[in-house]
């Protein structure tokens, strides 16, 4: 099994050709997007088919709320992290329960959330409403509430984007962000929330404040080693297709560099025709480098302890009620009837 690969798939069902390709690739994980969702019955069937592949890859989805909601087509809108954070702790817990229950109902193992980045002036993540608060303490408190709510349904979580993308002024899908000095403090939020049963996703961004001025965090042994000192769970490199890594070699070279830096797994979300090239390149490298082979074996063991049991099913009617409650609490909190909690965060 090539546990180090988490890849996307083409559409709402697997073609015979793609099914055979996945059997050969044996990825450790599969990530779903809106293109993979037609209706809830189709999606549950697709998840079950993916679980039946050799090695039973985990199935993940980005379900943060707001604009990052891959299940919009079957369940509608969810409030964003910023909206829930402003509304209060109850609204954040409701958002997490809505996400966790939906994943469990469909058999999805992992929600690639919460965002643990701190909203900073000029940062693109905050502008998109994807951050819970604008101070580390508020983010830590609310991200913990969200994560625990998701986990209460047996669904795994992934804290992102280490060491903290909040100060990044450019969109990492297009260019390489330079993080400010405050990232040294923001990285400690991940340490507060990490555990062996949670994953952490590393960003493609320069973090000179962590002692690395040349390589993006995802490709930096120094930065990943710093994370490892406080985190015993899996470490994922964000999608290596992003424009932030355009100057760091071919797609297979980027993937291998992230693994060599200490990441356990890399995401290849859209370049489906290059999935096999990534695996072939990494396999050649690990045959030449015993140290990399040993590291990937350790990575496989960490990943094997993560999200390998399908969450208990949740009735669809319950899921719909939880999504409606998440919307209601976020809207009610926005009316100003809640009291202050932390940094501009409210608690009902």
Q: Which residues are catalytic?
A: 173, 238
- The residues facing 162 across adjacent strands are 202
- Compute how many other C-beta atoms are within 10 angstroms of the C-beta atom of residue 105: 24
DSSP H or E segment with residue 222: helix 221-228
Cα distance between residue 153 and residue 103, in whole Å? 8
Closest CA to 67 of 85, 87, 82, 89: 82
- Residues with Cβ within 8 Å of 179's Cβ and at least 6 positions away in sequence, in order, are 163, 164, 165, 167, 168, 205, 206, 207, 208, 209
DSSP designation for 191 = H
Closest CA to 296 of 231, 235, 222: 235
Cα distance between residue 34 and residue 27, in whole Å? 20
What are the phi and psi torsion angles at 118 (to 5°)?
Answer: -95, 130
Cα distance between residue 46 and residue 59, in whole Å? 10
DSSP H or E segment with residue 162: strand 156-162
Cα distance between residue 168 and residue 6, in whole Å? 25
Q: Does 270 sit behind a cis peptide bond, omega within 30 degrees of 0 on the bond before it?
A: no
Cα distance between residue 216 and residue 17, in whole Å? 35
Cα distance between residue 227 and residue 77, in whole Å? 34
Measured in whole angstroms, how far is the alpha carbon of residue 293 from the centre of its chain?
Answer: 25
């Amino acid at each position: 099994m090539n546990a180090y690969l988490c890849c996307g798939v083409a559409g709402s069902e697997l073609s015979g050709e793609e099914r055979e390709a996945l059997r050969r690739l044996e990825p450790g994980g599969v990530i779903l997007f809106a293109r993979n969702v037609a209706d809830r019955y189709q999606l549950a069937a697709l998840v079950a088919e993916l679980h039946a592949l050799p090695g039973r890859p985990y199935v993940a989805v980005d379900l943060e709320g707001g604009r990052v909601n891959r299940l919009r087509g079957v369940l509608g809108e969810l409030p964003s992290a910023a909206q829930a954070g402003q509304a209060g702790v109850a609204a954040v817990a409701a958002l997490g329960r809505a996400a966790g229950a939906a994943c469990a109902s469909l058999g999805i193992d992992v929600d690639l959330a919460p965002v643990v980045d701190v909203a900073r002036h000029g940062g693109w993540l905050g502008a998109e409403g994807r951050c819970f608060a604008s101070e580390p303490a508020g983010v830590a408190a609310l991200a913990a509430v969200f994560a625990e709510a998701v986990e209460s349904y047996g669904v795994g979580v992934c804290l992102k984007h280490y060491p903290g993308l909040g100060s990044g002024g450019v969109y990492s899908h297009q260019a390489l962000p330079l993080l400010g000095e405050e990232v040294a403090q923001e990285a400690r939020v991940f340490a507060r929330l990490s555990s062996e049963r949670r994953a952490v996703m590393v960003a493609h961004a320069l973090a000179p404040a962590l002692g690395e001025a040349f390589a993006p965090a995802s490709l930096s042994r120094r930065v990943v080693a710093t994370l490892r000192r406080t985190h015993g769970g899996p470490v994922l490199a964000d999608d290596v297709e992003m424009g932030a890594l355009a100057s760091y070699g071919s797609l297979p070279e980027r993937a291998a560099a992230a693994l060599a830096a200490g990441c356990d797994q890399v995401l290849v979300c859209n370049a489906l025709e290059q999935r096999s090239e990534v695996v072939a390149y990494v396999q050649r490298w690990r045959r030449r480098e015993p140290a990399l082979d040993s590291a990937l074996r350790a990575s496989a063991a960490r990943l094997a302890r993560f999200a390998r049991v399908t969450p208990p099913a949740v009735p669809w009617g319950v899921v719909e009620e939880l999504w409606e409650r998440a919307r209601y609490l976020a809207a009610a909190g926005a009316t100003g009837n809640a009291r202050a909690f932390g940094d501009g965060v409210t608690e009902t």
